[in-house]
Amino acid sequence: MIRHHPDKNLLLEYASGSLARGPSLVMAAHVQMCPDCRSQYHTLNSLGGALLSQSPAQPLQANAFECLMTRIDQIPDKNGRQVKSDSDASQATKKDPAFDNLPRVLCKLLAKNPAHSWKNVSRALQVCRVRTGQGDYEVSFHRLRSGAKLPEHDHRGQEFAVVLNGSFSDHYGIYGAGDFVFRGPGQIHRPIATQDKDCLCFSAVAAPVAITGISGLLLNPLIPFRPG
Amino acid sequence: MQVGTQRDRQAFERVFRRFAPLIKGFHHSRSTQALNSETADELVQEVMLKVWHKAPSFDRGKASASTWIYSIMRNCRIDMLRRNQRHRHRDGDIDVADIWDETLESQPLLFLQQKRNERDIADGLRALPAEQSHILEKAYMEGKSHSEISEELRLPLGTVKSRVRLAMKKLQARFVR
């Protein structure tokens, strides 16, 4: 049961194509896992359709249709071509139960961009950055060991995340598979993974997190941030 | 749609004559200058090419042509704007339609409901106060985020957000009965 959803504003930015690629990947993962938000997304697409049909018609170049048909005749029709199946995810992640039932968008992303460079941030946390061909957000998978307690931290920029497997809690609530997480600057939290299994999350952050307290003074300058 | 099943060029021409001028008007008209006239013409070509190729997957029982064409058009625009950006690595790049789904809902109960809602949305849109519909147009037609809209219109971000939420509430009130 998914309990945490993106708000309507964020869904509209996503459906209208005005949300950046990094957070849109997270939105896509959530929307594919959440029937409620999928239905909202279709409503927002219908709104786009209504805006399109109510647009003022503008004249095109005189031979626009003929130009298009010439182009169509020059390229082979894709109609009969088999669409490649979603036999995705890399070998490294295929056997890993944390990667079971991934939404389609992440299977595609992993197929193009195998997650094999996991970094141990601590005993409790592993991070694997994935390249997504944009320059504003660092996009990565986070894996919290079961029962792991992360240090309390603040966010220097917006963070968008979706839980893929397992669950964690902080003082805002409990987050399980499919739940959407948004944290902005000033939202300090201390995530703790539940003890039954590892928790896998997918996130896009606009700036590195900031660990609070004395240890933060030492560690924060060392936290890497590599958008892409 | 006969375009999909029989590759019917006359049917496709009718779709083209109806939608191509609307696609252009969506991005370039007296009220919207999201794209210049030339770029808008280029986008029209890209969108209609995709419509021709994807027509076999269209099912008018599940969504109206305008909703389906809107999804394809949004994705073409995202691709087009992206082609001009510097941060673009071919590796790791996935297809725009993997991130912004343009397939139609496959569960009958859901798509029947959504199909029914489409007319309500279109009627509701005409009835919205200008200050709300204006913001929806900026988001959809100009592809602006809420914070960009707030800067441009010199409105607090909270006001932009609440107008969007109010508008959505009014549109959905028509079919949540």
Across residues A101-125, what is the average pLDDT? 88
Q: How much of chain A, in percent, has pLDDT values that exceed 70? A: 92
Amino acid B151 reads E
Contacts of A51 in chain B (CB under 8 A): 26, 70, 125, 136-137, 140-141
Contact B77, A18 (CB under 8 A): no
Question: How many CB pairs (< 8 A) connect A and B?
Answer: 207
Gap between the Cα atoms of A67 and A87, Å rounded:
37
pLDDT band of residue A86 (cuts 50, 70, 90) is very low
Instruction: Give the lowest-confidence range in A171-175, B63-67, B100-104.
Output: B100-104
Instruction: Give the lowest-confidence range in A115-124, A154-163, A219-228.
Output: A219-228
pLDDT in tens, B23-62: 999 999 888 888 999 999 999 999 999 999 999 889 888 8
- Across the interface, of B121, B125, B143, the residue whose CB is closest to A17 is B143
ipTM above 0.85, yes or no: yes
Q: Which residue has the higher pLDDT, A84 or A200?
A: A200
Q: Is a pLDDT exceeding 90 seen at residue B2?
A: no
Q: Which residue segments constitute the domains of chain A, with CATH numbers given?
A: 8-222 (2.60.120.10)
Other beta carbons less than 10 A from residue B64's beta carbon? 18
Q: Tokens for A3? A: 């309990």
Query: Is any Cβ of chain A less than 8 angstroms from the Cβ of B7?
Result: yes
pLDDT the model gives residue A224: 79
By C-alpha distance, the chain A residue nearest B139 is A16
Gap between the Cα atoms of A122 and B90, Å rounded:
32
Contact B118 A32 (CB under 8 A): no
Contacts of A16 in chain B (CB under 8 A): 74, 139-140, 143
Contact A196, A147 (CB under 8 A): no
Question: B99: which residues sit within 8 A by CB, 6+ positions away?
Answer: A21, A24, A25, A28, A105
Q: How far is CA B153 from CA B33, B125, B146, B160, in A?
A: 16, 21, 10, 9
Q: Tokens for A76? A: 């082979």
pLDDT in tens, A135-172: 899 999 999 999 999 988 988 899 999 999 999 999 89
